[in-house]
Amino acid sequence: MSWLTLLISIPLIGAAVVGWIARKSQARAWFLSLGFVGLQFCVTLAAVMMFDTSQSARFQFAGAAKWLPSIGAEFNVGVDGLGLMSLLLAAIVVPFAIALIDPKTRRPGTMAAWMLLLQSTLIGNFVSLNFVLWFLFWELALIPAFFLVRGWGGPLRAKAALRFFMYTMAGSALMLAGMAAVYAAAGTFHLPSLALLSSGVTLSSKITTLVGGNDVWAAWVFFAILIGVAVKVPLYPLHGWLPATYSEADPPVTMILTGVMSKMGVVGMLRVVGPLFPDQIRIHSQMLMWIAAIGILASAWTALAQRDLRRMLAFSSINHLGWCLLAIFAAWSVTKPGVDGTAALNGAMLQIFNHGITAATLFACVALLERRNTNSTRIDSFGGLRAVMPVFSGLWGIALFASIGLPGLNGFISELLMVQGSFALNPWATAVAAGSLLLTAVFLLGFWQKVFHGPLNPQCGAMPDLSSTERLVLAPTLVLMILLGVCPQLLLKWLNPVSESLLSILR
């Protein structure tokens, strides 16, 4: 059994075991789930140790098995630097989320079981090298996610879950159609082989040949797959499912949704959309970059007007991941590989990890705040909390400033690289999007002022500061934020070769 199969199986088995035990004892099931994610984390660490960094553009720990040869579907797995980083992200965020499940919540063990299942499918998606397998995990991930949103959270959660499910399913339907066209044209679902096409007879030209010379069809296939992936990230006008889902779901669930699941979309962009259709991105790059840039600005601006903490953070997530898309579109807008494209891709990949841990930490803080006896997340229902909970405000403050992009914390480097790469390739769109850097500071500090500063709201006077367990739960990601802010090379040594090789096969 290869490393990657093991990584997919541990949480899968865990989900079954924990789910079974949860029928008898929820608390014990929850505790056991921590064991499984802990084991998963250790195996991931072992994989990180075994990973050959000097070859990080190659797919390592590769495994292959016949599956459905008649349609070209094989069980093909492997990780390059990007995949490894995504595995690490999943191994960090999921335990973090499980640790933050409120023991007083309804059926915490069942929730943890669903989370384990979600982790398994997400990892499956991150390591898949076959389009069908990738798509299978992509769809499977929706099931635990749907039940997690549906089962726990605010009063409107059922509606939100349905919308979330239907919206992403609709996107997937488009993608499925696109996939069929890809197979018809290229005769393979193996993603690395499909990516190699761009250095010879491109996938687009194969599709054009297939339909008899009309090159519009290649664009339709491209957009079908692009939209399917973009819904999940999401790209701004396709984000309709997100605010309700993120704000209705229980914060630990949102941690995984924004921390890892949305990254499935960004990784998909880098793994599928970009390598398969570099020429299509190039043709439409101006439009795509402007859509992304306007989305970046609009989402930050919408966040500014939100009165609810979770909704504000939801729009902030759209904003931060919009940057990834802008950078990705920018990187593939050029024919010649150059340092600008590499910077943009490095930034986008680094942002996957950075946003993952930062957004998860922010929602973790929301979870801890909600635990403190008030069920409201309206921003103006608090006030002056820093006076009664200095440690909490200090730790939350670190995550807050990481999200603003303060140098010395993780968010800055990825933002800088994305701005640098995108600016070189489309200065005006980037300048428009850069306005969001200011708006982000405005709404985050505005929230901070209303919740933590000013005179103490008498209703919040009795709120206890963080317990030492809670501090310990928050500590790892905060340490990572500082570590990656000072030493981004820790991840970039994996990512930089991947970016280079992604762009080097361009013609």
Partner 1 sequence: MNSFVQYLWLIPLLPLIAAGINAVLPGDVRRVAMGLTIGTMAASFLISVIALLKVAGGGRLYHNFDWFSLGSGHVRLGWLLDPLSAAMLVMVTLVGLCIFIYSVAYMAHDARQKQFFTFLSLFAAAMLGLIISNSLLLLFMCWEVVGLASYLLIGFWFSKPSAAAACKKAFITTRIGDVGFLLGIVWIAKENGSLLFFDGGGGFLEQAALEHLNGLAVGGLSAATAISLLLFCGAMGKSGQVPLHVWLPDAMEGPTPVSALIHAATMVAAGVFLIGRVHPLMTAESLSVVAGIGACTAVIAALIGIAQNDIKRILAYSTVSQLGYMMLALGVGGLGAGIFHLITHGFFKALLFLGAGSVIHGCHDQQDIRAMGGLHGPMRKTFATYAVGMMALSGFPLLFSGFWSKEAILHAAHSTVGSHLPFYAGLFGAVLTAFYMTRLMSLVFFGTYRGDAKHPPHESPRLMTAPLQVLAFFAIVLGFLGTPAWPWFTSWIEGRDSHFQFGHLFHLETLGLMIVSTLAVAAGVWLGWRLYFQRLRLTAEEKDPLQVVVPRLYHHLENRLWFDEFYEKTIISGTRRVGDWLTIIEQRLWVGGIWAAAQISNGFSWLSRCYDEWLINDGFDKSCDSLRGSGKEIADAHRQGLPFTLRTVGAAILVLLAVTWLWFGKGGAR
Q: Least separation, in Å, of the C-beta of 392 and partner 1?
A: 14
Q: Least separation, in Å, of the C-beta of 317 and partner 1?
A: 15
Among 35, 240, 461, 464, binds partner 1 (CB under 8 A): 240
Phi, psi of 438 (to 5 degrees): -70, -45
Among 202, 302, 377, 426, binds partner 1 (CB under 8 A): 302
Whether 116 and 14 have beta carbons less than 8 Å apart is answered as yes
For the segment 149-188, give every residue that binds partner 1 (CB under 8 A).
159, 162-163, 165-167, 170-171, 174
Q: Where are the alpha helices (DSSP H) in 372-467?
A: 385-388, 390-404, 410-425, 427-452
Binding segment toward partner 1, per CB under 8 A, in 33-41, 265-273, 363-371, 442-450: 442-450
Q: How far apart are CA 116 and CA 143, in angstroms?
A: 12
For the segment 270-299, give every residue that binds partner 1 (CB under 8 A).
283-284, 287, 291, 298
- If one asks whether residue 107 binds partner 1 (CB under 8 A), the answer comes out as no
Cα 447 to Cα 60, 243, 307, 382, 428: the distances in Å are 44, 17, 9, 10, 30
Identify which of residues 48 and 434 has a Cβ nearer to partner 1 in the complex.
Answer: 434
Identify which of residues 6 and 434 has a Cβ nearer to partner 1 in the complex.
Answer: 434
Shortest CA distance to 362 belongs to which of 319, 400, 412?
400
- If one asks whether residue 249 binds partner 1 (CB under 8 A), the answer comes out as no
Using H for helix, E for strand and C for coil, what is the string for 272-340?
A: HHHHHCHHHHHHCHHHHHHHHHHHHHHHHHHHHCCCEHHHHHHHHHHHHHHHHHHHHHHHCCCCCCCHH
For the segment 315-344, give every residue that binds partner 1 (CB under 8 A).
338-340, 342-343
Whether 499 and 342 have beta carbons less than 8 Å apart is answered as yes
Q: Least separation, in Å, of the C-beta of 302 and partner 1?
A: 4
- If one asks whether residue 483 binds partner 1 (CB under 8 A), the answer comes out as no
Among 44, 121, 245, 346, binds partner 1 (CB under 8 A): 346
Q: Which pair of structure tokens corresponds to residue 306?
A: 């939100």
Among 177, 211, 406, 505, binds partner 1 (CB under 8 A): 406
Q: Least separation, in Å, of the C-beta of 5 and partner 1?
A: 32
- If one asks whether residue 301 binds partner 1 (CB under 8 A), the answer comes out as yes
Whether 494 and 81 have beta carbons less than 8 Å apart is answered as yes
Q: Least separation, in Å, of the C-beta of 167 and partner 1?
A: 5
- If one asks whether residue 458 binds partner 1 (CB under 8 A), the answer comes out as no
Whether 498 and 368 have beta carbons less than 8 Å apart is answered as no
For the segment 368-397, give every residue that binds partner 1 (CB under 8 A).
384, 386-387
Binding segment toward partner 1, per CB under 8 A, in 9-17, 44-52, 440-448, 469-477: 440-448
Q: Least separation, in Å, of the C-beta of 401 and partner 1?
A: 6
Among 35, 187, 408, 461, binds partner 1 (CB under 8 A): 408
Binding segment toward partner 1, per CB under 8 A, in 91-99, 111-119, 430-438, 462-470: 430-438
Q: Least separation, in Å, of the C-beta of 104 and partner 1?
A: 31
Residue type, 143: I
Q: How far apart are CA 364 and CA 482, in angstroms?
A: 18
Which letter does DSSP use for residue 409 in this model? S
For residue 483, the surrounding DSSP H or E stretch is helix 468-486
Peptide bond preceding 234 in cis form (omega within 30 of 0): yes
Q: Using CA of residue 412, residue 414, residue 417, residue 422, what is the dihedral sign?
A: negative
Q: Least separation, in Å, of the C-beta of 216 and partner 1?
A: 7
